[in-house]
Amino acid sequence: MCNLLSAGLMRLRKAPAFWLCALGTFLVALAHIYQGSQSVAAMGASGYAVGLERVYFELAPYLGAVIAVFVSLFLGTEYAGGAIRNKLVVGFSRRTVYLSHFLTCALAGLCFAGLWLLGGLPGLLWGGGFRLAPAELAGYLLAALALSVSFAAIFTLVGTLCRNRAVTVVLALLLWTALILAASALNDRLSEPEFSGGMAMIDGAFVLTPDTPNPLYLSGPARTAARWLFRLLPTGQAIAMTDAHLEAPALCAALSLLLAGAVTMVGLALFRRKDLK
């Protein structure tokens, strides 16, 4: 395992995809925080004070896309050059090969997350500080790093099981899009009010209508299941981060690591049965 990890880290250092994704992540985060902090400062000047967290975490959903592209290109090279087959020929087990892939990609994902968060720090100078409590802010940062690991686990599974590099990139991005749409749908349903009412035009005049039960409101076990699924999905956590409404950040970080472990176990089981000829 140590030899495979060392080789993976060496490849990581020499991979153009890694450096391009890292540089792009940092520059995009820097440009985004500059533009967003100007809006935060303008709102503060007009008397509507908001914290920097409202823009600092807005790029969280796109971290998954960066990791999806990188992992697909990085692992696709393993198949293209026959490296995976050669590792098995010299005696490494499939379990060791898969885990080395995951750990290398998880480290890359942590680097991208760190550069994203680092690129947003100048916003403290341009737009003011955070309004989150220090402990809550630390929880957000921990959750951001943990969700990068869960993204890495998901796309390592895709990249290890697909031979064609171009197809892997497309599949990974489609999966990322599907996860974003699923999390957005859950967020919309969880945001539905329990009762609906308001103003309606009757006989040419606006009248106040009584509150009526909202048929789209989730209640009972369905709401509980939807909340836990939204927390479990890395895209759900990322969407909650965008407007600083992430509930129980430490719990979300633990769920991300739990999901990464579960996906890795599934990937190991599938990789054992994969025909590498």
Q: Which residues pair with 195 in a beta bridge?
A: 213
Beta strands in 203-258 (DSSP E): 205-213
For residue 201, pLDDT over 60 is answered with no
Please report, for the chain, the start and end positions of each structural domain, with discontinuous segments joined by +: 2-196+208-273
For residue 120, pLDDT over 60 is answered with yes
pLDDT at 71: 94
More confident position, 43 or 125: 125
* Digit-coded pLDDT (tens) for 65-104: 999 999 999 988 877 667 777 777 777 788 888 999 999 9
202 membership: H or E segment, kind and range: strand 195-202
Half-sphere exposure in the Cβ direction for 210 (13 Å, CA): 2
CA separation for the pair 150, 67 (Å, rounded): 10
Angle at 107 between CA 80 and CA 110, to 5 degrees: 125
Phi-psi region of 159 (alpha: psi -120 to 50; beta: other; left: phi over 0): alpha
* Digit-coded pLDDT (tens) for 138-168: 999 999 999 999 999 999 999 888 878 888 9
